[in-house]
Amino acid sequence: MSNTVYSIVPAIGIARVGNAPTAFYIGPETEGGLPTLPDGRTVGEQDFRDDEGRLCRQAARFRLMRSVDGGPPEEVTLKSEGVASIRWYVHLANKKSSWYEFQTSKGEDGYASNHPLRNADRTSAEERRALIIDAGPRSIEGSDAPAEHFSRDTIPPGYAGSFPPEGLKPYPIDTLGELRTDEEGRLLVLGGLGHSGSDRPSPHIGQYANNDGWWDDTSDGPVSVKISLLDDEDGPPDVEVGGAWVMVGPPSYAPQIPNLVTLYDTIFDVVVRKQGLRPDLFADGMWKTGPTGYKPFFETDIKPIFERVARYPWVAAIPPKPHSFDFARLGDPDPKLNGFRAYILDIIRPPGADNVLVNASTGATAMPYLAGDDALGASKPGTVTVATSKYLRLTDTQYFLLQQWADGWFIKQGAEPAGTAGDPVTRGVLANCVGGAFSPGIEMTWISRNPAIYDGPFRIKARPDVSGPLSLGFDPAAGMEPGDVSRYMAVPWQADFNECSSQPIEGRILWWWPAQRPEFVYLPPDPQTLRVEPSPALGPQVSWIGTEYNQKADDYIQFADDLDMVKLWDQLGFVFNIGSADDPYFVEVARRLPRTPGSQGDTAGIGEPARPLVADVP
Amino acid sequence: MTEQCLLERPQGKAAAPLSVAYTPISTLPDLRAAAQLAIQVEFTTVPAYLTALYSITDKGSAAYQALRSVVVEEMFHLNQAANILIGIGGQPKLTGSVVPVYPAYLPSASTTATPYVGLYRASQAVFRNVFMAIETPAPFTAPPQGSDYQTIGQLYKALSDGIERCVDQYGADKVFVENPAAEQRTDIYLGKFGGKAVKVTDLDSAQLGIQQIVQQGEGAVNPTHPLVPQQPYGAYEHYGARTDGTYGPILGTPYELSHYYKFLRVADAPDFPDTLPIVSNPRVSDFANATAVQAVKAFNIGYSVMLQSLEASFTKAGGAADSYFTLALPLMHNQLPTLANLVMQLPVFPDGDPTVGPNAAPTFEYVEDASFDDFLAALQALDKLLAGQGLPALLVAPVAPPAPPGPAPKHREALHGVIDGVRTLKSRSDATGLGL
């Protein structure tokens, strides 16, 4: 009898909201890759919106893999021999409004007794449970199955689900998304419509992360599958497989530009340091340094870090030159270049220097020039000394790999052999998510660094037999419930997404997540001049939102009022490469929002009345 | 209004007549000499700026950061001027008699209109009377001046006019004949400031190269005329003080860029950071502290190896390792600053108090035939002296004997050393590490 191991990939799938009711695309499964359309084509610049100009949702696709006797994993679909049916089980919930307030890094190691709750005026367990959005579990099977909605009116009979009051303003929340399957029975999870609303008569957003009376329709939850085999010569006819999770986050407006620290890097750091699953890098509390230690692969471990750096100038106003690299030289292990590599490493903010912007012994600015987890704490007078991390830094594992590289202990050619590198789809999916700074973040916050929530590499431990109502607490030993991963995030997400553009710290302005939330973009060139020269001159960079002249202005590269983001997020443009992979040229496409009057990109509307900033409320 | 009125003369010198005898450049050897002169002028500013820079203790201070950005841009100008020289058939020289000896005037400068340049401990007076005077912008209409110039901008004007004149006279194909042994560099990265060096192959690229230099600092630029906003590197989108009063990305604002105005801000600031109590215009013969003497000796050897390797990086490598990235860059960015910081914390007198001074300072003297082995030997000798005083060693690990020289061009033979082992100097150079 053969030993067959099933698994779901990716371990964590990422869906993203959109207000197109039916059109969607499937999330990218490689770092910096473009999403794909259901028919398999890669999205073009016209595919980010549906026929009516609404923003398409990004579906998270899950596949079932099978490994026989330790062999390489192969996919199992409805078309595979011997498969009778594949039924997927998903349970989405949003617990944001019932959880604690988000206050930068507070709570990562447990909340203090005086840490405020969101909606603290609702005190009874019943009232607090009513703050949870929980449509209950759903399942789906077959090929191209009709959508199974996580909606208010499809809560399974007998399940104690809950939805916020009807008629929230400006947008009602009646669904968290839906399940579909593709032609071969793979699972597609679609998230919410990007609706955020308040139960107050005149909705108002006063804060970036905690707004009482507000809900949004992002969510998260476990994914499992039951496969039925046609004949059971090799074991039980039905196999149940869990271990996967789906997160629903904000749209990815620059899908081809990965974050410097990706969510993969952050969780991989847990795998290495906390779970001890990579003893070749780190074991018994010791890093495997030096010539006999771990040798990173330049192509897969080192080069991507610099490639990400090289793409930031397309989405932030940063000097392109120091962010361009000669990869042949970086990848040359010649010991004569040790000094050169050490010079590069020296610029990168090391562990323990989370509050250092300018290197005290060289005067050089430490990189990345990005806000850290506790940049907000640092920006408030009187709290500077207690800031835990004002500036972003690479993960310990990333820095370790770079140290080995700088010392010349790295492998120039080739990639990490399959099997040790983990599942490539999980890596590819998470490489397109934010791994820091977590204030709170975009998809997941610092809870991603907590080893207690996992029971394997990248595998979030799901609580078995969730029958509802969902709990109000946190018990990772019992497993994570639907909504337990995303509840730390800002409510509504648009508030944080709007405000986390630039961050003043000690007289400097730092950026947050330019790769995920663009700050400055280039406009498409005049069609007359496009590509007539080998390299057309770039026009000026313009603010993605708001104005760019005065860094102290309320609308400096953001909306002056967070409520505008709730209403207008779906009209923003996407940053898209109209050049080639080797000679990229990223411009903003598919934008519907007029530029803010007075901003550099507002060439048309000077002197004309601005279009009212009001979206149609459905 | 005369043109002189446009010029501030902060160093208090009497305004000299703007136009003295000017002989336009009309031969190719003269043109190459003018380009070499431009290199030497840029070169001469660097040790002066560096001495002041290293003497500032707070590396995050506005004065330090402003001066640092200017130094890096001067090095970029040197790179660009070298490319121009190679583009018109020359070979840049950075060693031997070319190395400036301080104190001195800028090479071939008007001694009445330009400052006396020395290696000074930083102060607001030095910023105002020396550095601002070096970087005084030429009036928009100032005439070209190949020698005895009052502003560096005039020197570049003469070079620019000379290139045009020679192209008219001999044709571009005779002027832009690259020296076959030399190699222009566009891949040298110096720091977050600077610019993008262009390869000079014709009149347009030569003029663009000069324009970049002139706009950044020694400008004959109308201050109300914005820098070319489409310039992909350097001018557009670097960080600095903005006209909205904040610090951040510069989206095409010209004022911030001028070295003169950067220095003016420092000179006019209400306060100035602490400096190390170094002697100005140091001489080794004045030092009685053997450790300081050895440290300066090691610095000068390292400085000379750096200059050799920088000079060699403008020659065709012929398969040998690129001496810029293997030697010049680590020396410039790590070993020499480390040593300079150490020297400036060593008192001139054996029993002196380094917090009171006077402390030594690097003398920036060229050592003929210095080799990397000499540098290592000097560091090892220095470590012995430091150990004798209970100070931590600079070399953290025993340094492996240098590899035998490979089949490299002859002038590279002295540069074969592998910088490994020496490169970790810095971590031991923090003031605390020195026990000061």
The predicted-structure confidence for A3-19, as pLDDT tens digits, reads as follows 889 999 999 999 999 99
Q: What is the per-residue pLDDT for A288? A: 96
Is B202 in the same domain as B317? Answer: no
Q: What is the rounded distance in angstroms from the CA atom of residue A449 to the CA atom of residue A452? A: 9
Across the range B272-299, mean pLDDT stands at 95
A384 is written with which tokens?
A: 């500077």
Query: Is the pLDDT reported for residue B401 higher than 50?
Result: no
Q: Does A339 contact B248 at a Cβ distance shorter than 8 Å? A: no
Across the range A402-407, mean pLDDT stands at 95
Is B258 in the same domain as B132? Answer: yes
What are A90's strand-pairing partners? A138, A223
- Please state whether A454 falls in left (phi above 0), alpha (psi between -120 and 50) or beta: beta
Number of Cβ atoms within 10 Å of the Cβ of B427: 12
Using an 8 Å Cβ cutoff, are A388 and A105 in contact? yes
Q: What is the rounded distance in angstroms from the CA atom of residue A83 to the CA atom of residue A65? A: 13
Interface mutation target, options A337, A409, A556, chain B, most CBs of B under 10 Å = A337
The DSSP secondary structure of B77-105, one letter per residue, reads HHHHHHHHHHHTT-----SGGGS--SSBP
Share of chain B residues as helix, strand and coil, in percent rounded to the nearest 5: 45, 5, 50
Q: What is the per-residue pLDDT for B252? A: 45
Exposure of B201 by Cβ count < 10 A (0-12 exposed, 13-18 middle, 19+ buried)?
A: middle
Across the range B180-201, mean pLDDT stands at 80
- Our count of domains for chain B comes to 2
What are A247's strand-pairing partners? A14, A220
Across the range A266-284, mean pLDDT stands at 95
Query: Is the pLDDT reported for residue B416 higher than 70?
Result: no
Q: Is residue B245 part of a domain?
A: yes
| Closest of A142, A147, A141, A186 to residue A40, by C-alpha | A186
Cis peptide before A504 (omega within 30 of 0): no
Using an 8 Å Cβ cutoff, are A282 and A264 in contact? no
Across the range B133-154, mean pLDDT stands at 81
Q: Which residues contact A285 (CB under 8 A, 6 or more apart)?
A: none
Is B70 in the same domain as B196? Answer: yes
Across the range A218-242, mean pLDDT stands at 86
In one letter, which amino acid is A508?
A: R
| Closest of B120, B118, B95, B117 to residue B106, by C-alpha | B117
A160 φ, ψ (degrees, to nearest 5): -85, 75
Q: What is the per-residue pLDDT for B137? A: 74
Q: Which residue has the higher pLDDT, B397 or A147?
A: A147
Q: What is the per-residue pLDDT for B251? A: 55
Across the range A329-357, mean pLDDT stands at 89
Q: What is the rounded distance in angstroms from the CA atom of residue B209 to the CA atom of residue B228? A: 13
Tell me, letter by letter, the H, E, C secondary structure of A48-107: CECCCCCECEEEEEEEEEEEECCCCCEEECCCCCCEEEEEEEEEEEECHHHCECCECCEE
A502 φ, ψ (degrees, to nearest 5): -125, 155
Is B329 in the same domain as B253? Answer: no
Q: Which residues contact B26 (CB under 8 A, 6 or more apart)?
A: B162, B165, B166, B169
Q: Does A363 contact B59 at a Cβ distance shorter than 8 Å? A: yes
A33 is written with which tokens?
A: 């890759």
Q: Is residue B202 part of a domain?
A: yes
Q: What is the rounded distance in angstroms from the CA atom of residue A263 to the CA atom of residue B6? A: 57
Is B172 in the same domain as B212? Answer: yes
Q: Does B192 contact A319 at a Cβ distance shorter than 8 Å? A: yes
Is B61 in the same domain as B185? Answer: yes
- Enumerate the residues of chain B whose CB falls inside 8 A of the CB of residue A600: 251
Which of B64, B232, B321 comes nearest A363 by C-beta?
Answer: B64
Q: What is the per-residue pLDDT for A612? A: 39
A256 is written with which tokens?
A: 């081809």
Which of A326, A363, A540 comes nearest B68 by C-beta?
Answer: A363
What are A7's strand-pairing partners? A65
B357 is written with which tokens?
A: 């001074």
Write b or e for each residue in A552-573: b if 16 or more Cβ atoms lie within 10 A of its Cβ, otherwise e.
eeebbbbbbebbbbbbbbbbbb
- pLDDT category of residue B249 using cuts at 50, 70 and 90: confident
- pLDDT category of residue A273 using cuts at 50, 70 and 90: very high
Report B:246-265 residues touching A (Cβ under 8 A). Answer: 246-249, 251-252
Segment A367-384, tens digit of pLDDT: 999 999 988 765 555 544
Q: Is residue B274 part of a domain?
A: no
H or E element at residue A242: strand A238-249
The most confident of A199-208, B212-221, B421-430, by mean pLDDT: A199-208
| Closest of A212, A203, A216, A214 to residue A121, by C-alpha | A212
Query: Is the pLDDT reported for residue B354 higher than 80?
Result: yes
Q: What is the per-residue pLDDT for B399? A: 53
Exposure of A206 by Cβ count < 10 A (0-12 exposed, 13-18 middle, 19+ buried)?
A: exposed
For all residues of chain B together, what is the average pLDDT? 79
Q: What is the rounded distance in angstroms from the CA atom of residue A17 to the CA atom of residue A58? A: 7
Q: Is A275 on the interface with B (CB under 8 A)?
A: no
Across the range B163-177, mean pLDDT stands at 93
Least confident of A144-153, A273-282, B390-399, B403-412: B403-412
Domain boundary among the residues B268, B293, B323 is at: B268
3-state SS assignment for residue A365: strand
Q: Is residue B301 part of a domain?
A: yes
pLDDT above 70 covers what percent of chain A?
91
Q: What is the CATH number of the domain that holds B137?
A: 1.20.1260.10
Query: Is the pLDDT reported for residue A109 higher than 90?
Result: no
Query: Is the pLDDT reported for residue B436 higher than 90?
Result: no
Is B85 in the same domain as B194? Answer: yes
Is B226 in the same domain as B360? Answer: no
Domain boundary among the residues B243, B268, B293 is at: B268
| B368 DSSP assignment | T
H or E element at residue A140: strand A133-141
Is B262 in the same domain as B314? Answer: no
The tokens 């860029």 sit on which residue?
A: B257
The most confident of A129-138, A222-231, B106-115, B199-208, by mean pLDDT: A129-138
Q: What is the per-residue pLDDT for A376? A: 78
- Comparing alpha-carbon positions, the chain B residue that sits nearest to A367 is B192
- pLDDT category of residue B218 using cuts at 50, 70 and 90: low
Q: Does B244 contact A549 at a Cβ distance shorter than 8 Å? A: yes
Q: What is the rounded distance in angstroms from the CA atom of residue A60 to the CA atom of residue A489? A: 19
- pLDDT category of residue A75 using cuts at 50, 70 and 90: very high
Q: Is residue B320 part of a domain?
A: yes
Query: Is the pLDDT reported for residue A448 higher than 70?
Result: yes
Q: What is the rounded distance in angstroms from the CA atom of residue A539 to the CA atom of residue B177? A: 34
Report B:152-181 residues touching A (Cβ under 8 A). Answer: none
Q: What is the per-residue pLDDT for B74? A: 87
| Cα dist from A89 to A13, A137, A456, A458, whole Å | 14, 7, 20, 19
- Enumerate the residues of chain B whose CB falls inside 8 A of the CB of residue A339: 325-327, 329-331, 334, 419-420, 422-423
Q: Which residues contact B80 (CB under 8 A, 6 or more apart)?
A: B195, B197, B198, B209, B212, B213
What are A61's strand-pairing partners? A188
Number of Cβ atoms within 10 Å of the Cβ of B204: 11
Query: Is the pLDDT reported for residue A361 higher than 80?
Result: no
Query: Is the pLDDT reported for residue A610 higher than 80?
Result: no
Q: Which residue has the higher pLDDT, A615 or A396?
A: A396
Q: Is A534 on the interface with B (CB under 8 A)?
A: no
For all residues of chain A together, what is the average pLDDT? 89
| Cα dist from A194 to A57, A399, A569, A570, whole Å | 9, 36, 9, 8
Q: What is the rounded distance in angstroms from the CA atom of residue A223 to the CA atom of residue A225? A: 7
3-state SS assignment for residue A480: strand
Q: What is the rounded distance in angstroms from the CA atom of residue B386 to the CA atom of residue B291? A: 7
Cα A399 to the center of its chain, rounded Å: 21
- pLDDT category of residue B195 using cuts at 50, 70 and 90: low
Across the range A359-363, mean pLDDT stands at 76
Is B326 in the same domain as B408? Answer: yes
Query: Is the pLDDT reported for residue A311 higher than 90?
Result: yes
Segment B324-333, tens digit of pLDDT: 888 888 888 8
The DSSP bridge pattern shows strands A57-68 and A24-26 to be parallel
Query: Is the pLDDT reported for residue A549 higher than 70?
Result: yes
| First vs last C-alpha separation in chain B | 55
Q: Is residue B315 part of a domain?
A: yes
B201 is written with which tokens?
A: 């192959």
**Domain boundaries, position B200:** 3-7+17-268
Based on its alpha-carbon atoms, the radius of gyration of chain B, rounded to whole angstroms, reads 22
Q: Is residue B273 part of a domain?
A: no
Cis peptide before A437 (omega within 30 of 0): yes
Q: Does A540 contact B252 at a Cβ distance shorter than 8 Å? A: yes
Query: Is the pLDDT reported for residue A421 higher than 80?
Result: no
| Cα dist from B258 to B154, B220, B265, whole Å | 16, 11, 11
The tokens 């909340």 sit on which residue?
A: A111
| Closest of A383, A296, A288, A373 to residue A341, by C-alpha | A296
Q: Is A291 on the interface with B (CB under 8 A)?
A: no
Q: What is the per-residue pLDDT for A254? A: 97
3-state SS assignment for residue B247: strand
- pLDDT category of residue B24 using cuts at 50, 70 and 90: confident
Domain boundary among the residues B241, B268, B295 is at: B268
The whole-angstrom distance between A538's CA and the closest CA on chain B is 7
Q: What is the rounded distance in angstroms from the CA atom of residue B364 to the CA atom of residue B358? A: 18
Using an 8 Å Cβ cutoff, are A305 and A260 in contact? yes
Strands (E), B154-294: 239-241, 247-249
Query: Is the pLDDT reported for residue A100 higher than 50?
Result: yes
Q: Is B189 on the interface with A (CB under 8 A)?
A: yes
A226 is written with which tokens?
A: 């039951």
pLDDT above 90 covers what percent of chain A?
72
Query: Is the pLDDT reported for residue B419 higher than 80?
Result: no
Interface mutation target, options A312, A314, A338, A365, chain B, most CBs of B under 10 Å = A338
Across the range A544-561, mean pLDDT stands at 87
| B426 DSSP assignment | G
Is B47 in the same domain as B95? Answer: yes
Segment A458-494, tens digit of pLDDT: 999 999 989 889 999 999 999 999 999 999 999 999 9
| Cα dist from B436 to A360, B121, B391, whole Å | 16, 19, 9
Q: What is the per-residue pLDDT for B408? A: 37
- pLDDT category of residue A60 using cuts at 50, 70 and 90: very high
Is B394 in the same domain as B288? Answer: yes
Q: Is residue B38 part of a domain?
A: yes
Using an 8 Å Cβ cutoff, are A504 and A170 in contact? no
Q: Which residues contact B114 (CB under 8 A, 6 or more apart)?
A: B105, B106, B133, B134, B149, B150, B151
Q: What is the rounded distance in angstroms from the CA atom of residue B180 to the CA atom of residue B176? A: 12
Segment A381-397, tens digit of pLDDT: 554 455 678 899 999 99
Query: Is the pLDDT reported for residue B238 higher than 70?
Result: no
Q: Which residue has the higher pLDDT, B415 or A394?
A: A394
Q: What is the per-residue pLDDT for B7? A: 38
Query: What's the farthest any 2 CA atoms get from each other in chain A?
Result: 78
| A244 DSSP assignment | E
Q: HSE-up of A548 (CA within 13 Å, CB side)?
A: 24
Segment A85-96, tens digit of pLDDT: 999 999 999 999
3-state SS assignment for residue A260: coil
Q: What is the per-residue pLDDT for A505? A: 84
Q: What is the rounded distance in angstroms from the CA atom of residue A597 to the CA atom of residue A605? A: 7
What are A493's strand-pairing partners? none
- pLDDT category of residue A615 using cuts at 50, 70 and 90: very low
The whole-angstrom distance between A579's CA and the closest CA on chain B is 17
